Amino acid sequence: MDQRVDNLIKNWQHRYISGIYCVDKKEAADRILEIIPGDASVGLSGSVTLEEIGIIKALEARGTNVFNQYRPGVSREEGLDLRKKGARADYYLTSANAISEKGELVFFSAYGQRIAGISSAKNLIVVCGINKITPNLEEALQRARQYATPLNCKRLNWASACLKDGICRKEICLLPDYKRMCSQVLVIEAETAPERVKVILVGEKLGF
């Protein structure tokens, strides 16, 4: 195992965060299916990582009640309702934009719904590829802002100041000229409720 992973899992223990290492996507999806009981409800935030491991489809296929705002045909109003229900579900699934080697978890959000879900979830599962580990918090914030967000803006054709060339211009990335994607920032440094936060760290490149 990567020494950084070993250190991270130890660091998380001191922060009341459970770190679980999985070698690949399949092991990660199997592990999440074991953790989430079949009759639990699940909320989620949009994430390439979750798509890549196929966990939402797997949960829906076994009959778990997933508040999935991204299901085809869901209207904007229904989507907002599903997001609210998802934040109050038994489990909330998401990915981080970056993780520092000390164990800080960094999340960026446009409207704050993801942050509400993460902060208020009864049980939070964060899935992250090892490509998102950075040496420290400062570089984690930089990764989220200068690397992950521009790629997400491109993926979603989001009218931000980095859409055209992938370069962050946060000073001018404001309405009415631009629609900012990274409007709210959450850093989880530690947890107070044991077992509330689990990080599934996957030994592959996932998401961005």
Question: Rule CB under 6 A: is residue 114 a binding residue for ligand SF4?
Answer: no
Question: Rule CB under 6 A: is residue 80 a binding residue for ligand SF4?
Answer: no
Compute the chain's Rg from CA coordinates: 17
Of 48-56, 67-75, 175-183, 196-204, the segment contacting ligand SF4 by CB under 6 A is 175-183
Q: Which is nearer to ligand SF4, 91 or 108 (CB)?
A: 108
The tokens for 55 are: 């966990």
* CA neighbor of 168 nearest in space, from 187, 185, 144: 144
Q: Which is nearer to ligand SF4, 89 or 137 (CB)?
A: 137
Name 114's Cβ contacts closer than 8 Å, sequence gap at least 6.
Answer: 45, 46, 94, 107
Question: Rule CB under 6 A: is residue 162 a binding residue for ligand SF4?
Answer: yes
Supply the minimum distance, in Å, between the C-beta of residue 189 and ligand SF4: 22
Helices 76-87 & 113-120, crossing angle to 10 degrees?
20
Task: With beta carbons less than 8 A apart as the criterion, state whether 202 and 128 touch.
Answer: yes
User: Phi/psi zone of residue 26: left (φ > 0), alpha (ψ -120 to 50 degrees), beta?
Assistant: alpha
Q: Which is nearer to ligand SF4, 127 or 161 (CB)?
A: 161
Supply the minimum distance, in Å, between the C-beta of residue 3 and ligand SF4: 31
* Interatomic CA distance for residues 157 and 122, integer angstroms: 32
Q: Which is nearer to ligand SF4, 102 or 154 (CB)?
A: 154
Question: Rule CB under 6 A: is residue 148 a binding residue for ligand SF4?
Answer: no
Residues that bind ligand SF4 (CB under 6 A): 145, 149-150, 153, 160-162, 168-170, 173, 180-182
